[in-house]
Amino acid sequence: MNGQHIIDAYARIQHQIHTTPVMHSRLLNERLGCEVILKCENLQKVGAFKARGAANAVLQLTEAEASKGVATHSSGNHGAALAFAARERGIPCWVVMPANAPQVKKDAVAAYGAQIIECEPTLAARESTLEKTVQATGAQFIPPYDDERIIAGQGTAALELYQQLAEQGQPLPEFILAPVGGGGLLAGTALYSKSVAPGVTVIGTEPKGADDCARGFNSKQRVTDAKPNTIADGLRTLVGEANFPIICDYVDEVLTVSEAAIVEAMTLVWTRTKLIIEPSSAVPIAAILENPARFAGRRVAVILSGGNVELGQLPF
């Protein structure tokens, strides 16, 4: 893959997604000690950046492939994104979801017209249930992150951010931070950033309780046996096989953060900017909080990945 794949993806999906705003907060900057540039993917279709990758994948299906619909497994945001993309193309969608997925994310998937199939909250159960669904329906499996079409679609958030900064006459950031779960957003962000702005430092951020990417990045061996435990439900997954080598080649560093810092960061963004973000979105802000010397006085772009939260279960 290269930056052209992301440029092509943006041309393909631009009519179907929101151009999300770039926002700044003086109060947030003062608290963090740096100039933070927020790319608000929490305001994207389906409330998360995942709409980009799903749209890119579904729009590339042939008519014959699309006619039987699409299917996936997801704890929430990818499921909603695929349901949205399928609805836009007028095809059926099945989403396998763990029984303990947040209700707000189940509701979002259902609202876009997908059929939800619940399973036990293990990867093995998700994959076996999905396999049965695909065999029964003939639907095309669209992976949540481990797919070049998904990676290219997610990378369009960084492309759009750089375009917006240029249009506003603003310089490039010195850093760009993104959360990492399966690695679609981080891989796409890094791939595009290094193709057009190699001087920008790309940093992945993840919870200490779900640190497979950091461990794999440092050892250059993909971790396959981790058991994630974090409030950031969108990051409770292992980095994908297609994503990992891109991350190793193009990401500069992966930082891990504490659960307390995630909650503090989420609270900061809610109260200072009035933006609703989910815990996974707060992880890059938490990385700034826990590494103040690293970012002091610098221009730091942060991709706020999503805003789908259970309002009755807020951690603050």
Q: What is the pLDDT of residue 249?
A: 98
Of 279, 227, 259, nearest in space to 122 by CA: 227
Assess contact for 285 and 265: CB atoms under 8 A: yes
Provide the CA 204 distance to its chain's centre, in angstroms.
11
pLDDT digits (tens, 9 = 90+) for 80-91: 999 999 999 999
Answer whether residue 123 shows pLDDT above 80: no
**Range with lowest mean pLDDT among 8-22, 117-131, 157-171, 252-266:** 117-131
CB atoms within 10 A of CB 7: 17
Answer whether residue 2 shows pLDDT above 80: yes
Sketch out the chain's domains with CATH numbers: 3-48+148-313 (3.40.50.1100), 51-141 (3.40.50.1100)
What is the rounded average pLDDT for all residues in the chain? 95
Q: What is the pLDDT of residue 76?
A: 73
Strand 35-40 versus strand 115-119 pairing type: unpaired
Of 101 and 187, the structure prediction assigns the larger pLDDT to 187
Residue 279 confidence class, pLDDT cut points 50, 70, 90:
very high
Assess contact for 83 and 315: CB atoms under 8 A: no
Q: Give the C-alpha separation, 60 to 85, whole Å.
A: 11
What is the average per-residue pLDDT within 268-293? 97
Assess contact for 71 and 141: CB atoms under 8 A: yes
Answer whether residue 98 shows pLDDT above 90: no
- In the numeric block, which tokens belong to residue 109? 């998937």
What DSSP assignment string belongs to 20-73? --EE--HHHHHHHTSEEEEEEGGGSGGGBTHHHHHHHHHHTS-HHHHTT-EEEE
pTM: 0.94
pLDDT digits (tens, 9 = 90+) for 183-234: 999 999 999 999 999 999 999 999 999 999 999 999 999 999 888 999 998 8
Q: What is the pLDDT of residue 103?
A: 82
pLDDT digits (tens, 9 = 90+) for 238-272: 999 999 999 999 999 999 999 999 999 999 999 99
Q: What is the pLDDT of residue 248?
A: 98
Q: Give the C-alpha separation, 149 to 59, whole Å.
A: 10
